[in-house]
Structures are given as C-alpha cells and as structure tokens.
Structure 1
Amino acid sequence: MGIFQLEDFAAGWIGGAASVIIGHPLDTVKARLQAGVGYGNTLNCIRTVYTRESVFGFFKGMSFPLASIAVYNSVVFGVFSNTERFLSQHHSREPEASSTRALSDLILASSVAGVVSVGLGTPVDLIKIRLQMQTQPFRGASLGLSSRAAALGEQPAYQGPVHCIATIVRTEGLAGMYRGASAMLLRDIPGYCLYFIPYVFLNELITPEACAGPSPCAVWLAGGMAGAISWAASTPMDVMKSRLQADGVYLNKYKGVLDCISQSYQKEGLKVFFRGITVNTVRGFPMSAAMFLGYELSLQALRRDHAVTSP
C-alpha cells in the first residue's frame, strides 16, 4: 500500500459517529458545568438537566455534532495516520525492525492532527456549545447585563444549527465562528499527543507479541484509557474554550483567552481550571473506546474488502 490511504479517513468517520452517540449526554453536562452558570457539581447538573428538560435535554444539539464531528474525526484520524506513515517511511524504517513506533514521529503526527483539528473543529464546537447552552437559566437577562438577553426573555437564542450559524455570522462576523480558537489550539496540540501516543503504546503493551494485531478488547481498553488521560490533562484549556464559546449566547464577558483565564481565576480561584474534570475523564473513556474500536474494526473491514477487490 502507498503512503496516503483513504481508508483511514473513512474509518475515522465511522469511529467519530460512534463516539458522538456514546458521549454526547456527558458532553452536554460537561459544557454546562464548565460555562459556570450555577451548577454545584456533576450530579447536581445531571439532576437539574433531567428535571427541567427530561432525558432529551442531554441530547440537546446532537444533530449537528453527529453530522459534523464524524467528518472532523475522519480528517483528524486520516491526517494522523497518514502523517505518521509518511514519517515512518521517510526514515526508511521497516515495520518488522521495531515493534515500537518512534516517539518523535508520533509527537509530530499528533501535533499536526491537533493543528488541523482547530481549523475544522472550532466552528463545530462553537455551534454545539451554543445549542447546548441556550436553555440555561437566564440569569444575565434578569440582571440587565445584556439587552439581547433581556429581549429574548425565555425564548431560545437559536432555532437550530443553521439559524445558529447565521446568527453568529450576522452579529459577530465570520471571525465569530472561530471564537475560542486560541484556547482550542492550546488544548488540542498537547491533547492529541496524550491521545494517540498512549493509545499506541498501551495497545502494543496489551497485545501479545504472537498476535498479528490488537484484539477488539485491547483496542477498547487502550482507546478508553487514552481518552481518559487526554481529556483529564486537557481540562484547564477545555474550560477556557467552553467559556469563550458559550460567551455571546446572552452575555459578552470575555475579550480573549487571557482575559477569560484572568477573570475566571479572580472570581473562582484555581479550582475553576479543573471544573468538569470528573465528567471529562469519565466521558473520555467510553467516547474514545468507541472511537478507536469503530476506527480499527472499520479499517480492517475496508482493507479486507480492498484486498479482495484489487486485481
């Protein structure tokens, strides 16, 4: 096979769809906790969402990420796999020569995937968070902090993903679609390094040398652990990203990532940077386990079909 393989992109799309379905309820809880709108803890947030909005509240805004994050993960996994493969072949290393991939190649490939993820993922995350946040208690409106919030009263700010995009572009310009991009960049480059690298090494550690490839159980465990590690480490910047992207639904509090860090620290102390770390870590395991399992199984199926159909 050549260096560039489209199967990685297709498998990433399937894995991305699986991860969204598994992880969206906890993602909604995480977004609301991190935005700092009055929930005491994770259990209180879950209870409040269920009481006010029923079980459907946990799936608020899921249609957009289901359609878009699958494509986003397709690109991220495709870019990572093809970059890592290119670097490996560039160094002229035979796969049989070493069972462990070069750490430098994995770091560079993960970093490239992280940069690409910001370009694609910032608008996706922005729309998802805006849709998740718009059913919050309108405390800002009652305080008179925003004429837009007061005018909206109890009405949702957005009627759906398309209306949300149109509203942001109209009120904030095209640049508004990339609100929180700097925080996302600071989150995703180290985050993806701590996502792909633990997965690769844990997979190799769990899989016996006699096996031709990792078992589904090994993929599930390694993927889940990698996701938990990555999301736990990414929580501080994820909090800032969520706050910046939620900003503007009803209020406009932050001028940028540094201002968001400063205001959040002054008002809530150091603990604010770890808001939602429990739900992030817990949510990271099943989401990433589903992501990697969907990716690896579909990749095997695609390559098997390719081998059968190729002359």
Structure 2
Amino acid sequence: MAFFKGMSFPLASITVYNSVVFGFFSNAQRLISKYRYGDGRHPCSLSDLTLASMLTGFVSVGLGAPVDLVKIRLQMQTQTLLTENLHLAGNTNMTVQSVTLPSSSSSPLSPSPLYRGPIHCISSILQTEGIAGLYRGAGAMVLRDVPGYALYFIPYTLLCDLLRPDDTSTPHPCSIWLAGGLAGSISWVTATPADVVKSRMQADAQLRRKYRGIVHCIVHSYRSEGVQVFFRGASVNAIRGFPMSATMFLTYELSLQFFRGL
C-alpha cells in the first residue's frame, strides 16, 4: 500500500481534471478556427494547435496545482507527530521526527501522522498558509504544463495525421493508441526538469523552508546535486506516460465518436 500513498485525492479528482483539460483543448481549437476561418470545424494549423495547447496547460494549473500539492504532501509523509501536538501539524517542518513536550506534561505520548488524509491536509494548509498555500509550486507547474501540453497535443495530432491513410478517414483505434502513447512519453520526458522543481517546492513545508522560490530551487538543486538531478525519474515518466496517455486519448476519441453518432 505504500506505493499508493496519497492516491485517494487524485483518483477522486482525475475525472474532473481530464474533462477540463480535454474539453478546454477541444473548445479552444473550435473557437480559434471560428475566429480565424469563420468555421469552428476548420482544421487548425500548427500555430493554432500550439496556442490551444499552451492555453490548456495554463488553465490546467488552476485545478491541478492543489491536487498535486496534496498528493505530494501525503506521499512524502513519513514522519509522525505526537497526538497532543496535532494542532502544530501545519507549522511543523516535514523532516521533523518528533515534538518535545515540557517536562511537566504527564500525558501519554502516542504517534500520529502529520496529515490524517486529503481533507485534513487541505484544511491544515489553508489554516497555516491560506489559499496561496494550495498553489505553492504553481509557478513551476506553469513552466511544466504550458510547454508540456504543447508537446502533448501537437505530437499526438501530427502522429495521427501521419498514421491515417488519407485526410478524410478517421484514425484507426490502434493508431490513436500508438500516437497517444508516444505523445505522452515525449511530453513527460521533456517536462521532467520542471516537474522536479515543482515537486521539490510542493514538498517544502511552511517553516524552515529550503527554497525561497523557483530560481533558488533550481540553483540550490544544481549546486548540491548537479544537472542530472533535473532528469531524475525521466525513464519512469517515459514508461508510465505511454500506457496512461494511450488509454486517455483512445477513450477520448472513441467517446467523441460515440456521442457524435447519437
């Protein structure tokens, strides 16, 4: 179960998140085509796709940043606090192992996790850091998702066009699956450096923070661990990106075909 720590909140929100991302991208293309060509169904040019993809990446941060923050805080939660000091949870650095009570305290000491779950995690962050606390690392997430979604939707569209026999035919499900998987791997590998910075900033607790901002996080990480730190996990991202994105794109395209046929 340790490999699935912090997954309840992302699972509960993934449907809404993907609906927003794919829905916004489709509608952005339609609106751009309608504005530029007078027809919402006119095929988008490469520049149109780039604009729609980057706008999608920017919008995704508004919903995705709090989800990622809660997930990372729960996944990084390996320390315990004393139950008598749970009210200090939001003010305690994530590396702290215990809290020392005054010698006069006679209460029994029993360990408990820093966050009892997603809702308690959100509540603690709001109490100690406010709304801005839920968007810690959002700047780095913008640096990840704006170019990341451009390198997600554009390769997918180009590969689908390349794999279908002619311009009038619908891509075969196998072509959609392959194009979606390759696009996912490309996007996640290229987004790994920004994802490393985002994750490190989100894992930082409120007090005794290691990083003062994005630039400080990049410089500190580089000086302490070298340039290779920004590509840590790239192979895992490439492996997980293929089946995840292949499934999402295939489901998305088949769903569109189904509802358009009603």
**CA separation of 1:73/1:147 partners in 2, compared to 1, >3 Å: closer, same or farther?**
closer
Higher relative contact order (CA 8 A, sep 6+): 1
2:74–2:118 Cα contact (<8 Å) kept:
yes
One-letter amino acid of the counterpart of residue 141, structure 2: M
8 Å CA contact 2:129–2:206 kept in 1: the answer is no
Whole-Å separation in 2 of the counterparts to 1:96 and 1:89: 8
Residue type at the aligned position of 1:131: L
Map of 2:77 onto structure 1: 134
Distance 2:248 2:79 in 1: 29
> What residue in structure 2 maps to residue 302 of structure 1?
259
Q: Are 1:230 and 2:187 an aligned pair?
A: yes
Normalising by structure 2, we get a TM-score of: 0.85
Paired residues of 2:160 and 2:176 also in contact (CA < 8 A): yes
Q: 2:230 is matched with which residue?
A: 273
CA contact (8 A) 1:110 1:196 kept: yes
What whole-Å deviation, never above 9, does each CA across 1:174-219 have from its counterpart, x for those lacking one?
1100000110011111000000000001011011117631111111
Whether 2:49 is the aligned partner of 1:92: answer no
User: Does the CA contact (< 8 Å) of 2:29 and 2:44 recur in 1?
Assistant: no
The percent of aligned pairs where both chains have the same amino acid is 59
Instruction: Name the amino acid aligned to 1:297.
Output: L
Corresponding residue for residue 122 of structure 1: 65
Decide whether aligned partners of structure 1 residues 95 and 74 sit closer, same or farther in structure 2, where only a CA change above 3 A counts. closer
Q: Is the 8 A contact 1:69 1:124 kept in 2?
A: no
Match of 1:213 among 167, 170, 183: 170
Match of 2:45 among 97, 102, 115: 102
- Conserved? CA contact 1:158–1:164, under 8 Å: yes
CA shift, 1:150, in A, is: 3.1
CA distance, structure 2, for counterparts of residue 244 and residue 277 of structure 1:
18
Normalization by structure 1: what TM-score? 0.72
Give 1:248's match in structure 2, choosing from 192, 205, 209: 205
Q: Which of the numbers 111, 118, 123 marks the counterpart of 1:166? A: 123
C-alpha change, 1:249 and 1:219, in structure 2 (3 Å) is farther
Q: How far apart in 1 are the matches of 2:79 and 2:150?
A: 34
Identify the structure with the greater helix proportion: 1
Match of 2:105 in 1: none
**Which 5+ residue runs of structure 2 have no aligned equivalent?**
82-91, 100-109
Structure 1 alignment gaps of length 5 or more: 1-55, 139-144, 306-311
Residues 79 and 113 in structure 2, CA contact (< 8 A), matched pair in contact too: no
- What is the number of residues matched between the two proteins? 242
Residue of structure 2 in register with 1:113 after alignment: 56
Counterpart position of 2:107: none
